[in-house]
Amino acid sequence: MADKGIHEGHRERMRDRIKKQGVESLQNHEVLEYLLYSFIPRRDTNEIAHRLIAEFGSLSGVLSADAEHLEEVPGMTHNAALFLSSLPGVFRQYLDDRTSERTELKGRAAARLFMGNKLFGIPDEQVVVAALDAHEKIISSDIISSGSGDSVQVTVRAIVDFALKNRASGVLLAHNHPSGRVSPSQADVELTYTLFDTLANVGVALLDHFIFCGSDYYSFEEDGRMNRIIKTKSTLKDGIFYYE
Protein backbone atom coordinates (compact mmCIF):
# COMPACT_ATOMS: atom_id res chain seq x y z
CA MET A 1 0.00 0.00 0.00
CA ALA A 2 2.88 2.37 0.77
CA ASP A 3 4.31 1.92 -2.75
CA LYS A 4 0.90 2.61 -4.24
CA GLY A 5 0.67 5.83 -2.23
CA ILE A 6 4.11 6.93 -3.41
CA HIS A 7 3.17 6.26 -7.05
CA GLU A 8 -0.16 8.06 -6.71
CA GLY A 9 1.52 11.09 -5.18
CA HIS A 10 4.07 11.20 -7.97
CA ARG A 11 1.37 10.89 -10.63
CA GLU A 12 -0.68 13.69 -9.11
CA ARG A 13 2.39 15.95 -9.08
CA MET A 14 3.01 15.07 -12.73
CA ARG A 15 -0.59 15.87 -13.70
CA ASP A 16 -0.43 19.15 -11.78
CA ARG A 17 2.79 20.07 -13.58
CA ILE A 18 1.18 19.37 -16.96
CA LYS A 19 -1.86 21.43 -16.00
CA LYS A 20 0.32 24.43 -15.06
CA GLN A 21 3.19 24.16 -17.57
CA GLY A 22 1.96 21.92 -20.38
CA VAL A 23 3.24 18.59 -21.69
CA GLU A 24 6.14 20.38 -23.34
CA SER A 25 7.64 20.93 -19.87
CA LEU A 26 8.28 17.18 -19.59
CA GLN A 27 11.36 15.28 -20.66
CA ASN A 28 10.85 12.58 -23.27
CA HIS A 29 10.82 9.70 -20.81
CA GLU A 30 8.34 11.61 -18.64
CA VAL A 31 5.99 12.00 -21.62
CA LEU A 32 5.98 8.23 -22.03
CA GLU A 33 5.59 7.74 -18.30
CA TYR A 34 2.51 9.98 -18.34
CA LEU A 35 1.00 8.33 -21.43
CA LEU A 36 1.22 4.94 -19.75
CA TYR A 37 -0.61 5.94 -16.55
CA SER A 38 -4.07 4.87 -17.74
CA PHE A 39 -2.86 1.56 -19.16
CA ILE A 40 -0.49 0.47 -16.40
CA PRO A 41 -2.12 1.75 -13.19
CA ARG A 42 -0.22 -0.25 -10.57
CA ARG A 43 3.39 -0.15 -11.72
CA ASP A 44 6.15 2.42 -11.93
CA THR A 45 5.78 3.65 -15.51
CA ASN A 46 8.90 5.82 -15.18
CA GLU A 47 10.97 2.64 -15.15
CA ILE A 48 9.08 1.24 -18.15
CA ALA A 49 9.51 4.54 -20.02
CA HIS A 50 13.29 4.37 -19.56
CA ARG A 51 13.28 0.78 -20.85
CA LEU A 52 11.30 1.81 -23.93
CA ILE A 53 13.70 4.62 -24.82
CA ALA A 54 16.70 2.36 -24.18
CA GLU A 55 15.21 -0.21 -26.54
CA PHE A 56 14.04 2.10 -29.36
CA GLY A 57 16.50 4.97 -28.99
CA SER A 58 14.18 7.95 -28.59
CA LEU A 59 10.62 9.06 -27.97
CA SER A 60 9.98 9.16 -31.70
CA GLY A 61 11.52 5.71 -32.04
CA VAL A 62 9.13 4.37 -29.42
CA LEU A 63 6.08 5.90 -31.10
CA SER A 64 7.21 4.63 -34.52
CA ALA A 65 7.55 1.05 -33.28
CA ASP A 66 4.80 -1.48 -33.87
CA ALA A 67 2.68 -2.83 -31.04
CA GLU A 68 4.23 -6.30 -31.21
CA HIS A 69 7.74 -5.02 -30.51
CA LEU A 70 6.57 -2.56 -27.86
CA GLU A 71 4.84 -5.35 -26.00
CA GLU A 72 8.13 -7.25 -25.73
CA VAL A 73 9.56 -4.60 -23.38
CA PRO A 74 9.27 -5.75 -19.74
CA GLY A 75 6.35 -4.15 -17.95
CA MET A 76 4.42 -3.26 -21.11
CA THR A 77 0.87 -4.53 -21.62
CA HIS A 78 -0.97 -5.31 -24.84
CA ASN A 79 -3.27 -2.31 -24.52
CA ALA A 80 -0.42 0.05 -23.66
CA ALA A 81 1.56 -1.13 -26.69
CA LEU A 82 -1.45 -0.75 -28.97
CA PHE A 83 -2.09 2.76 -27.67
CA LEU A 84 1.48 4.00 -28.15
CA SER A 85 1.76 2.50 -31.64
CA SER A 86 -1.51 4.18 -32.68
CA LEU A 87 -0.41 7.70 -31.71
CA PRO A 88 1.38 8.65 -34.99
CA GLY A 89 -1.82 7.81 -36.86
CA VAL A 90 -3.80 9.97 -34.43
CA PHE A 91 -1.33 12.82 -34.97
CA ARG A 92 -1.69 12.51 -38.76
CA GLN A 93 -5.46 12.65 -38.48
CA TYR A 94 -5.20 15.69 -36.23
CA LEU A 95 -2.86 17.50 -38.62
CA ASP A 96 -4.94 16.48 -41.63
CA ASP A 97 -8.10 17.77 -39.93
CA ARG A 98 -6.43 21.10 -39.13
CA THR A 99 -5.19 21.63 -42.68
CA SER A 100 -8.42 20.44 -44.29
CA GLU A 101 -9.86 23.86 -43.55
CA ARG A 102 -6.94 25.54 -45.31
CA THR A 103 -7.53 24.05 -48.72
CA GLU A 104 -5.70 26.71 -50.69
CA LEU A 105 -2.05 25.72 -51.07
CA LYS A 106 -0.59 28.83 -52.63
CA GLY A 107 3.02 29.26 -51.57
CA ARG A 108 5.79 26.80 -50.77
CA ALA A 109 5.18 26.67 -47.02
CA ALA A 110 1.48 25.74 -47.30
CA ALA A 111 2.17 23.01 -49.84
CA ARG A 112 5.08 21.63 -47.83
CA LEU A 113 3.05 21.60 -44.61
CA PHE A 114 0.12 19.80 -46.23
CA MET A 115 2.25 17.10 -47.84
CA GLY A 116 4.50 16.70 -44.80
CA ASN A 117 1.49 16.13 -42.57
CA LYS A 118 0.39 13.26 -44.82
CA LEU A 119 3.69 11.46 -44.14
CA PHE A 120 4.16 12.40 -40.49
CA GLY A 121 5.53 9.56 -38.37
CA ILE A 122 5.31 6.88 -41.07
CA PRO A 123 8.23 4.42 -40.64
CA ASP A 124 8.01 2.84 -44.12
CA GLU A 125 8.36 4.62 -47.42
CA GLN A 126 5.16 5.91 -48.97
CA VAL A 127 4.30 8.09 -51.94
CA VAL A 128 1.58 10.73 -51.61
CA VAL A 129 0.01 12.66 -54.47
CA ALA A 130 -2.32 15.67 -54.25
CA ALA A 131 -4.54 16.98 -57.04
CA LEU A 132 -5.06 20.78 -57.15
CA ASP A 133 -7.46 22.91 -59.15
CA ALA A 134 -6.56 26.02 -61.17
CA HIS A 135 -6.60 28.13 -57.98
CA GLU A 136 -4.24 25.72 -56.22
CA LYS A 137 -6.95 24.41 -53.93
CA ILE A 138 -6.93 20.76 -52.92
CA ILE A 139 -9.31 18.53 -54.85
CA SER A 140 -8.07 15.23 -53.45
CA SER A 141 -4.97 13.59 -51.99
CA ASP A 142 -4.05 9.96 -51.48
CA ILE A 143 -1.25 7.52 -50.77
CA ILE A 144 -0.46 6.31 -54.26
CA SER A 145 2.03 3.63 -53.25
CA SER A 146 3.43 2.01 -50.11
CA GLY A 147 6.67 0.12 -49.60
CA SER A 148 8.47 -1.90 -46.99
CA GLY A 149 11.32 -0.25 -45.12
CA ASP A 150 13.34 2.03 -47.38
CA SER A 151 11.95 1.08 -50.80
CA VAL A 152 8.75 1.65 -52.72
CA GLN A 153 7.76 1.50 -56.34
CA VAL A 154 5.42 3.84 -58.16
CA THR A 155 4.38 4.15 -61.78
CA VAL A 156 3.99 7.38 -63.68
CA ARG A 157 0.73 6.00 -65.05
CA ALA A 158 -0.76 5.68 -61.53
CA ILE A 159 -0.04 9.34 -60.80
CA VAL A 160 -1.32 10.53 -64.18
CA ASP A 161 -4.49 8.46 -63.79
CA PHE A 162 -5.04 10.01 -60.35
CA ALA A 163 -4.62 13.52 -61.80
CA LEU A 164 -7.01 12.86 -64.69
CA LYS A 165 -9.61 11.18 -62.48
CA ASN A 166 -9.69 14.28 -60.28
CA ARG A 167 -9.53 16.71 -63.23
CA ALA A 168 -6.48 18.34 -61.69
CA SER A 169 -4.77 21.42 -63.03
CA GLY A 170 -1.72 20.77 -60.91
CA VAL A 171 -0.14 17.96 -58.91
CA LEU A 172 2.04 17.82 -55.81
CA LEU A 173 4.12 14.69 -55.18
CA ALA A 174 5.84 13.66 -51.96
CA HIS A 175 7.53 10.63 -50.46
CA ASN A 176 9.55 9.93 -47.33
CA HIS A 177 13.07 8.58 -46.82
CA PRO A 178 13.03 6.53 -43.58
CA SER A 179 16.72 5.75 -44.06
CA GLY A 180 17.69 9.27 -43.02
CA ARG A 181 18.90 10.70 -46.36
CA VAL A 182 16.74 13.58 -47.53
CA SER A 183 18.63 14.23 -50.77
CA PRO A 184 16.98 12.86 -53.95
CA SER A 185 18.26 9.66 -55.49
CA GLN A 186 18.81 9.30 -59.22
CA ALA A 187 15.50 7.44 -59.41
CA ASP A 188 13.78 10.40 -57.71
CA VAL A 189 15.23 12.78 -60.29
CA GLU A 190 14.30 10.55 -63.22
CA LEU A 191 10.76 10.08 -61.95
CA THR A 192 10.32 13.83 -61.51
CA TYR A 193 11.53 14.58 -65.05
CA THR A 194 9.38 11.89 -66.60
CA LEU A 195 6.30 12.78 -64.58
CA PHE A 196 6.67 16.46 -65.44
CA ASP A 197 6.71 15.71 -69.18
CA THR A 198 3.92 13.13 -69.05
CA LEU A 199 1.61 15.37 -67.03
CA ALA A 200 2.37 18.34 -69.29
CA ASN A 201 1.22 16.29 -72.27
CA VAL A 202 -2.24 15.99 -70.71
CA GLY A 203 -2.40 19.62 -69.56
CA VAL A 204 -1.46 19.11 -65.89
CA ALA A 205 1.42 20.90 -64.12
CA LEU A 206 3.76 19.12 -61.70
CA LEU A 207 4.14 21.86 -59.09
CA ASP A 208 6.69 20.22 -56.78
CA HIS A 209 8.14 16.95 -55.54
CA PHE A 210 8.94 16.83 -51.83
CA ILE A 211 11.12 14.35 -49.96
CA PHE A 212 10.69 14.17 -46.17
CA CYS A 213 12.88 12.62 -43.50
CA GLY A 214 11.86 13.44 -39.96
CA SER A 215 11.84 17.22 -39.67
CA ASP A 216 14.06 17.63 -42.75
CA TYR A 217 12.79 18.00 -46.27
CA TYR A 218 13.89 18.51 -49.85
CA SER A 219 11.88 20.41 -52.47
CA PHE A 220 12.62 20.17 -56.18
CA GLU A 221 10.94 23.54 -56.66
CA GLU A 222 12.87 25.32 -53.90
CA ASP A 223 16.15 23.85 -55.15
CA GLY A 224 15.47 25.29 -58.61
CA ARG A 225 15.15 21.90 -60.28
CA MET A 226 11.57 22.47 -61.39
CA ASN A 227 12.70 25.51 -63.36
CA ARG A 228 15.49 23.47 -64.92
CA ILE A 229 13.01 20.73 -65.78
CA ILE A 230 10.78 23.28 -67.52
CA LYS A 231 13.73 24.18 -69.75
CA THR A 232 14.63 20.58 -70.42
CA LYS A 233 12.64 18.06 -72.44
CA SER A 234 13.03 14.58 -71.00
CA THR A 235 13.08 11.62 -73.35
CA LEU A 236 12.73 9.00 -70.63
CA LYS A 237 9.92 6.51 -71.08
CA ASP A 238 7.09 5.85 -68.65
CA GLY A 239 8.13 3.14 -66.20
CA ILE A 240 8.61 1.94 -62.66
CA PHE A 241 11.12 3.64 -60.38
CA TYR A 242 12.56 2.21 -57.20
CA TYR A 243 13.46 4.66 -54.44
CA GLU A 244 16.39 3.93 -52.19
Listed by start position, the domains of the chain span: 2-92, 102-242
Three-state secondary-structure class, residue 70: helix
Q: Would the pLDDT of 80 be above 60?
A: yes
Which alpha helices (DSSP H) does 180-231 contain, by range? 186-201, 225-230
Residue 143 β-bridge partners: 128
User: 45 with 36: CB under 8 angstroms?
Assistant: yes
233 pLDDT above the threshold of 60: no
pLDDT(106) > 90? no
Give the pLDDT confidence score for residue 152 in this predicted structure: 56
Predicted confidence at residue 46, as pLDDT, reads: 93
- Other beta carbons within 10 angstroms of residue 127's beta carbon come to 23
Per-residue pLDDT, 148: 53
Higher-confidence residue of 92 and 7: namely 92
* Coil/strand/helix, residue 213: strand
- The CATH architecture one would assign to domain 102-242 is 3-Layer(aba) Sandwich (3.40)
Count Cβ atoms below 10 Å from residue 194 Cβ, excluding itself: 19
Contacts for 55 with CB less than 8 Å, ≥ 6 apart: 62, 73
Identify the band that residue 5 occupies on the pLDDT scale cut at 50, 70 and 90.
Answer: low
C-alpha 20 chain-centroid distance:
30
Average pLDDT over residues 162-170: 95
Question: What average pLDDT does the segment 194-210 reach?
Answer: 93
Q: What is the average pLDDT across 160-179?
A: 92
**pLDDT averaged over every residue in the chain:** 83
Q: Whole-model pTM?
A: 0.62
Cα–Cα dist 243/190, whole Å: 11
CB of 170 within 8 A of CB of 136? yes
CB 174 within 8 A of CB 115: yes
Cα gap 210→174, rounded to integer Å: 4
